[in-house]
Amino acid sequence: MYFVYILYSRQADRYYVGQSDNPQERLIAHNSGISRYTSIASDWTIVHLEEFQTRTEAIQRERAIKKRKSRKYIESLFHN
């Protein structure tokens, strides 16, 4: 299984969209400062998770979300 995840940092007031086969492990990496973009904060939490059968599907979904470049759209995914 592969996942598209959306993280939120209250500290930075930002969202981050990524994909992984182990989102919990990635969350630890994001909060430890290993990932460049997310190193601006250390309070990231998973606010949305979508499951896919293949990495290709997960990557396509991640790109589709990122392509929208819309905070409103991202928030609509988990506020509905």
Structural domain span for residue 61: 2-79
pLDDT at 19: 98
pLDDT at 36: 85
Instruction: Note down pLDDT in tens along the chain; length 80 residues.
Output: 999 999 999 999 999 999 999 999 999 999 998 888 899 999 999 999 999 999 999 999 999 999 998 999 999 998 86
Cα 9–chain centre separation: 11
pLDDT at 35: 83
CB neighbourhood size of 38 (10 A): 22
Q: Which one, of 80, 7, 9, lies nearest residue 42 by Cα?
A: 9
CB neighbourhood size of 59 (10 A): 14
- CATH at residue 44: 3.40.1440.10
CA-CA distance, 32 to 28, in Å (whole number)? 6
pLDDT at 80: 64
Q: What domain count does the chain have? A: 1
